[in-house]
Structure 1
Amino acid sequence: MMEEVKDASSFLSVQVHNIKVTEVLQDGDSLTFIIVSQKLSGTGEFHVDRTYEDFEWLQQHLFSQEDVPGIQGVIFPPLPARLQVNPSSKALKHLGFLGLGEWQPYCKALEAFLRQVAAHSVLSKNRAVEIFLTSSDPPGRQKVKKNIFNRLSQAVEEMRKEGHKDVDDFFQTKRDHNFLLTGYTKMASEKFLDVVLTEQKIAVACGHFSTALHLCVEQGENPEKQDFSQVCVKLSEVFNSIKKSMTSTAMNDMNSLGLGLDLETRYQEAEKEMLFRRTCKLVELQNATKNADKAKPVKKAVMEEAKKATETEFRQICEVAKKEIIQLESKHVETLKQALVQWCEKQLLTAKESAEVYSQHLQTFKRMQ
């Protein structure tokens, strides 16, 4: 078992862009993910196996860095929800695109999470990241100390703070935009998921119809029956080609724009959580200011000290949050753009390949006439 992790500024010994989740191993209801990272020296690779609990262990250590100035202003890379071996329909709806495709999309989402953590200027310095990516031993199962998220577990009761008027126009605007974008992005992701599921259903239906056409084939020397059987066989081939085309289209949709929308949705939620933490600290500062103003002489010094401490913490959060928001907007516009370009390129390639196949089928039918 690994030693107790303490935060420490250190450089990772892996190449961030070469972190990969290459395989999933199943043992009953348990899933183990194989993670391969290229050594920074370029002389080899780290191979580690991690369970979802290990990912949660890493995330909790990232959340626990309360001694890092402005940590509550960080937009933490979102960890995908747990993947179940035999998910229910409700779980699949919650996972969305990550619940499709034989675990491949889910591995890509975990891979994106690790790369984003490893590339983050603050989070990558946590010793837990290096240990997670390079140690052959599994992370310890010790309880992690309470963190900023535990402390904000009463968020449901504090939801009224979401509508609290901000003192900074920049953050008020970002909060308003985030509120709209979170809803629109989630809706777009859900609608596109419906498209992919429909494509998969069409592919399955074409496969069934292709098989059914073979049942119409009759043996014998009757010319009419032979002609009819030949038409059924060729039609079966056509519908089998449609099945392959729709399957390829659905897979392309899922692995390009689908995963792009999923990541964007989860990041909008992560930004929303960060903005809410900052709003809570704003309310705390305003209350501390009121208490200091109203304090009796005997408690005045103590209240002023508490106010200054909260003011310093709030300022640090705001400084970090502004940088995080600017970086997120710049990076994720590019990420979504790449997803759209990849989607278009794959759609064009699939359409070209399908057109060639359909052209061959058409020529075959013309020769039959």
Structure 2
Amino acid sequence: METKQRRWVFYLLKIELIQAYWRIAASSSLTMEEGSASGASSGASSPEPQEPFSPKYTVRMSDRVTKDGESVKFTLQVSENGLTVQMLEREFEDFEYLEHCVITGQPSHGLIIPPLPQRSATDPHTAEIQSKRLMGKESKTLIADEFHKDCHQLQKYLELLLSHPVLGKNERLHMFLTIKEAPPRTKVKKGIMTKLSNSLDFRKSSYPDCEEFFQKERDWVAKYHPAINNTADAFNKIICAQYRVSHQLEQLVTAFKQSSMPNSELHNKQFNIMNILFYDTLDNLKGQLEKKTAKEEIMLGSVLNLWNNYIDSENNMLLDRTSLMVDYQSCNRALDKAKPNRKEAAERAKKEAELAFEECSDVARNEIKKFQRERRQELQASVEQYVEYQLTTAKAVLKTLTTTLTQIKAVSL
């Protein structure tokens, strides 16, 4: 009887071991499907999954923007738990200093820092250059300030920081959003030593990676970065072309308004009626095109520019990790060659380099998976929204032209 009981116990244990094995196998398979080429850690124990991070604050950029010379102040509405806690004014230089503090004050390597959007033109000379780029070299028209675009991009930048599980807890970020007066900022200067350091780090980018996951990601970045950069440039050319068409429509409207004839004769009166219908339609189409272009620039253009700059941030992170890998390999070689009296120091340096590299790898692996997931989701949503908007605006243009054609046909000749 005891023998049968033992066999039964062994049988149950065997079933539990088999189930545990398949659970581990399924978990490893899932890890590989999520993007890891090897499914293995770099050697350090991977951190246990944390609970979903919830931002402490939410931010909304108000449409209220004040400009005094070249100084532009943006208004931020900061909320906590659904209640407004602060209404703040911040200049672009405050955002630049916040970015500097976030980058230099990050607690660990391996993080992909959200990129700060490019500053818009504020002085007349830069505005003229930008206007000629959009409207053509011969154009003398100055494009109005695009503060709505700046507000959208800066709000997105703050949202990306706040929603990040590590950067969202940054003390400097919380000070930026809670102190009424902007935190004191200092001008950030890059000296010759910084440039030399960046140059040396860039040379390390050619080193092959010791992990297939990161090597594949580096290869992907090398191919994807020029592709999305070209896509963003091509889309910006479409935006510029639409601005030029809008400007040409405005010139046509002016020309048709000046071509009106005296109503003394019947055929002149009929011409004037059709002329008015025609230039009213062109003016309507011009307004639709301007609205369409501004919305498309936010809808897809800003998203393409964001992820184009985001790739730079990921590339910087991968370069930083490669530098740690090279340092770790150098410490290994130094330990092998170390003399007995320096063996202990070399061993300590090797362990510190190993720990820094492995911690960076664990953080970077999770960051890359999060980055790729959010990149795909946002780009897909933006493209789908852009396509639907094209259909909507095309129907609106068709309706406008059809209505005008019907009105012109109704004019008695």
> Distance between the aligned counterparts of 1:213 and 1:236, measured in 2?
6
CA shift, 1:143, in A, is 7.6
Aligned match of 1:341 in 360, 366, 384? 384
Provide closer, same or farther for how the CA distance between residues 327 and 29 of structure 1 changes in structure 2, counting only shifts above 3 A: same
Q: Which stretch of the first structure deviates more once superposed, 173-182 or 23-32?
A: 23-32
Asked if the contact 1:73–1:278 (Cα under 8 Å) also holds between the matched residues in 2, the reply is: yes
Displacement of 1:230 in angstroms is 2.5
CA–CA distance in structure 1, aligned partners of residues 321 and 127 of structure 2: 35
Distance in 2 of aligned mates of 1:284 and 1:173: 21
Residue pair 2:56, 2:162 contacting (<8 A) in 1 also: no
Q: Which residue of 1 aligns with 2:64?
A: 23
1:3 match:
none
Residue 93 of structure 2: aligned partner: 53
- Aligned counterpart, 2:370: 327
Shift, 1:262, TM fit: 1.0
Corresponding residue SS for 1:351: helix
Q: CA deviation at 1:310?
A: 0.7
Separation (CA, whole Å) in 2 of partners of 1:337 and 1:121: 24
2:155 aligned with 1:127: no
Tell me what 1:81 maps to.
118
Q: What TM-score, normalized to structure 2? A: 0.78
Task: Tell me the CA shift for residue 271 of structure 1.
Answer: 0.7
Q: Deviations along 1:63-111, whole A, 9 cap, x unmatched?
A: 2336x2xx22000011123333126279859x99xx9862212211111
TM-score when normalising by structure 1: 0.87
Equivalent position SS for 1:159: helix
Q: In 2, distance between residues paired with 1:47 and 1:153?
A: 42
Aligned to 2:250: 207
Deviates more, 1:113-122 or 1:340-349: 340-349
Residue 220 of structure 1, CA deviation:
3.7
Is contact 2:324-2:357 (8 Å) kept? yes
CA contact (8 A) 1:162 1:276 kept: yes
Instruction: After TM superposition, list the pairs within 5 Å mapping 1:278-297 onto structure 2.
Output: 278-297=321-340
Instruction: Give the ranges of 4+ consecutive aligned residues of structure 1 lying more than 4 Å apart after TM superposition.
Output: 10-13, 89-93, 142-146, 150-153
Contact 1:252 1:346 in 2 (8 A): no
Q: How many residues align?
A: 348
Distance (whole Å) between structure 2 residues aligned to residue 11 and residue 239 of structure 1:
49
For structure 2, the residue ranges without an aligned partner over 5 or more in a row are: 1-52, 135-142
Look up the SS of the partner of 2:114 in the other structure.
Answer: coil
Q: Which has the larger radius of gyration?
A: 2
Q: 2:76 aligns with which of 24, 35, 42?
A: 35
Paired-residue identity, %: 25
Q: Aligned partners of 2:75 and 2:129: how far apart in 1?
A: 23
**Which stretch has the larger CA shift, 31-40 or 239-248?**
239-248
Shifted more, 179-188 versus 339-348: the winner is: 339-348
2:83 counterpart SS class: coil
Q: Give the whole-Å Cα distance in 2 for the aligned partners of 1:23 and 1:145.
A: 31
- CA offset at residue 248 of structure 1? 2.4
Q: Structure 1 stretch 53-62 or stretch 121-130: which is displaced more? A: 53-62
Between stretches 207-216 and 342-351, larger displacement belongs to: 342-351
1:252–1:343 contact (8 Å) kept in structure 2: no
Cα deviations by residue, 1:4-56 (Å, 9 ceiling, x for unpaired): xxxxxx98642x3x54354321111111111112222x333421111122112
Cα deviation for residue 326 of structure 1 reads 0.2
The one of 75, 80, 84 equivalent to 1:44 is: 84
In the alignment, the residues of structure 1 paired with residue 144 and residue 198 of structure 2 have an alpha-carbon distance, to the nearest angstrom, of 32
Q: In 2, are the aligned partners of 1:203 and 1:243 still within 8 Å (CA)?
A: yes
Equivalent in the alignment of 1:6 = none
1:356 is displaced (CA, Å) by: 1.8
1:115 equivalent in alignment to 2:159: yes
